[in-house]
A and B are shown apart, each in its own frame.
Chain A
Amino acid sequence: MQQGKRIRVLLGKPGLDGHDRGIKVVARALRDAGMEVIYTGLHQTAESIVAAAIQEDVDVVGLSILSGAHMTLFPKVAKLLREQGAENMILIGGGTIPQDDVDQLLAEGWVEALFTPGTPTSELVEWIQKRVAEKQD
């Protein structure tokens, strides 16, 4: 990673789900770890999240989904990123996602990582730092 370049992360809440406790804690933890964090706010469409990610030229896109719509929304955002030439962005997520669905989303390659309840934010920070560094090598 280039010296001094801060990791840029866009955090988004797609769909109608209003549970924003987790994403706000994550936003703050990433910011405290020195990253630049852009939070979209609630009730975003997949399209608006992808547009914001491209406009802000972020390294990482993180989605928080606690409504059960994860099997629809992750693939939708992933496809849009690819279609719009942003397949290089690291797509990750979190929320109330059963392990079977985690496994499937990872196996099908829609997301690079999913952080489910109980994950320490320190783990998330280290994962992002490592993954962004790998990508830039």
Chain B
Amino acid sequence: MTKKPVDTCGCRPAGVTGGSVCTTQKPLRENRKFVTVSGVPIKELYGPEDAQIDPEQDLGLPGEYPFTRGVQKNMYRGRLWTMRQFAGFATAKETNERYRFLLANGQTGLSVAFDMPTLMGYDSDHSFSEGEVGRCGVAIDSLADMERLFEGIPLDQVSTSMTINGPAAVIWAMYLVAAEKQGVSLKDLRGTIQNDILKEYIAQKAWIFPPKPHMRLITDIFAFASKEVPQWNTVSISGYHIREAGSTAVQELAFTLADGFAYVEAGIEAGLDVDEFAPRLSFFFNSHMDFFEEIAKYRAARRIWARYMKEKYRAKDPRSWKMRFHTQTAGCSLTAQQPENNIVRTALEALAAVLGGTQSLHTNSMDEVLALPTEKAVKIALRTQQIIAYESGVVNTIDPLAGSYFVEALTNQMEAEAEAYFREIEKRGGVLAAIEQGYFQQELADAAYRYQQAIESGERIIVGVNDFVEENESLDIEILKIDPQIEIEQIKNLTRLKETRDNEQVAVTLKALKEGAQGTANLIPLIMDCVRAYATLGEIVGVMKEVFGEYRERPVF
């Protein structure tokens, strides 16, 4: 247990040596403002004049165009959302144990968190990886680690989501080969790779190559999956990180959908039929603290996607019109102060996601603002979903908020504001051009700064941070520690692998990949060959870097 020093006035101190500064004079709760978490003003009362909708055209029935009310006919009465806790730390062995723990506790899908070196395409023994191995996710250097990660978990019986972007093609290839080695047919694999590089340039910043070759790898994945791994979700077009980087709800909605349209256009330009790959596109949204704003966001998202896919991109298969999405509660809404309160924040956010019709859900653990979650904290987060599903009754009927003057008005408003952003992006020459201009990055930095200022000026109250502050707050939850020995062990294993594998075969497959990258071949089978030879992530990415180069950002703030 640790104790923080506290001011006499009760202002929260940071971990400052030189004493803390008092900022709170009187309780902020006395000047409440009626705006959403994104700063949108909300009226005292909404009526029919605010919610102009044509129920048939704008809402439709659940499972029918434009899917405002949900993508399935019977929604959660048919099947609950997938409860999918994102997990990964240390080595494949430790993470494998966590997965078995979660599956034993009723979790229904796996979600892999990789460490920073893996996310950036570096091996554990690279100088850049020092101190980062196994810290914020699991370290994967080669097929050997991937096999260990899923040992004893039959890959045809779980769906696995992998949060991987820059080196997505390589990590996915490792998963496919690991399945082959288990004797599982690729046709039976279900899961998702995030593979959303556009939001990396915009928000999360774990890129490797410049945009063009990255987009090629993505369309190679589309083409390969549509034939060989038909149940796989090839991109999870993500607003989550855009929101975490500071965006408003509307920016999250608009930028994510704009990214989605960019992938559709890339697929069409690569010569694919839209209905060949669009049904396998999925989405990933944030659920922040403003309950109704979030619900309206999900409803608007489905409607916009359906309209564009049908009318603009001329998709004919109704599955191409359906926006299926995963939701994660907002990490950035959690506080280091009184961390147990985060359980309540997460529960409200999870409820909004369910009322918004999510297909799968990750609930954050109360301690994630401090470190990776402990087993106990993860279990409470999972139980939160189970309580919503089995106790609250909200799953009994579909889209229960439809027809609410307020929710329909907000849904319409978000759609209109997203359209305004689409026009601005178009004017700037599309998503890639806008990224190069630093447009999204500046919009996010501005929004994040406004949010921070609203907290500091007291316009926005965060319980335990700038009001309802506890004097002599002491932290009495347990914190997960990663043993530094993990890094040493991981590097030792990697060294051994490099000594024992067939290095000639590694060289041959890497050379073939390099030649493929210089040409126009689909790179996925070539990457799978490298993986089978136990070439490492860093080696495979390294060969592609030689051909594609590396991305550099011009930072704005």
Question: How far, in whole Å, are A130 and B372 apart by their CA atoms in the complex?
Answer: 34
Tell me whether chain B's interface is mostly helix, strand or loop, or mixed: loop
Q: C-beta contact mask, A35-72 vs B, less than 8 Å → 1, else 0?
A: 00001111101000000000000000000000111011
Interface size on A, residues (CB 8 A): 50
**Cα distance A113–B15 when bound, in Å?**
7
Query: Do A42 and B553 touch (CB < 8 A)?
Result: yes
Are the CB atoms of B132 and A126 closer together than 8 Å?
Answer: no
- In the assembled complex, the CB of A114 is this many whole angstroms from the nearest CB of chain B, namely 4
From A71, which residue of chain B is reached at the shortest CB distance? Answer: B131
Are A41 and B466 in contact, CB atoms less than 8 angstroms apart? Answer: no
Q: Which of B200, B370, B449, B553 contacts A41 (CB 8 A)?
A: B553
Chain A residues, Cβ within 8 Å of B336: 116-118
Residues of chain B in range 109-140 having any CB-CB distance to chain A below 8 Å = 116-117, 119-120, 122, 127-132, 135-136
Within 8 Å by CB of A127, from B18, B117, B452, lies B18
Say if the beta carbon of B555 comes within 8 Å of chain A: yes
Tell me the smallest distance from the CB of A129 to a CB of chain B, in Å.
Answer: 11
Given known contacts A18-B206, A103-B2, A113-B17, is B131 in contact with A69 (CB within 8 Å)?
yes
In the complex with contacts A29-B452, A117-B336, A118-B337, A42-B555 CB distance below 8 A: yes
Q: Which residues of chain B are within 8 angstroms of A45 by Cβ–Cβ distance?
A: 127-128
* Chain A neighbourhood of B465, CB < 8 A: 118
Asked whether B456 lies within 8 Å of A28 as measured between CB atoms, the reply is no
Binding-face segment, A1-9, A81-89, A94-102: A94-102
Q: Is the pair A28, B23 in contact by a Cβ cutoff of 8 Å?
A: no
A: which residues have CB within 8 A of B?
15-21, 23-25, 27-29, 39-43, 45, 67-69, 71-73, 96-100, 102-103, 106, 112-124, 126-127, 130-131
What are 23 contact pairs spanning A and B, CB under 8 A? A15-B132, A16-B117, A16-B128, A16-B129, A18-B205, A20-B555, A21-B332, A24-B445, A25-B246, A25-B449, A28-B557, A39-B557, A42-B555, A68-B371, A96-B370, A99-B370, A100-B2, A113-B18, A114-B14, A117-B335, A117-B369, A118-B12, A123-B21
A-binding residues in B (CB < 8 A): 2, 4, 12, 14-18, 20-21, 23, 116-117, 119-120, 122, 127-132, 135-136, 200, 204-206, 244-246, 332, 335-337, 369-372, 444-445, 448-449, 452, 455-456, 462, 465-466, 475, 479, 482, 484, 553-555, 557
Closest 3 CB pairs of A and B: A72-B131, A18-B205, A68-B135
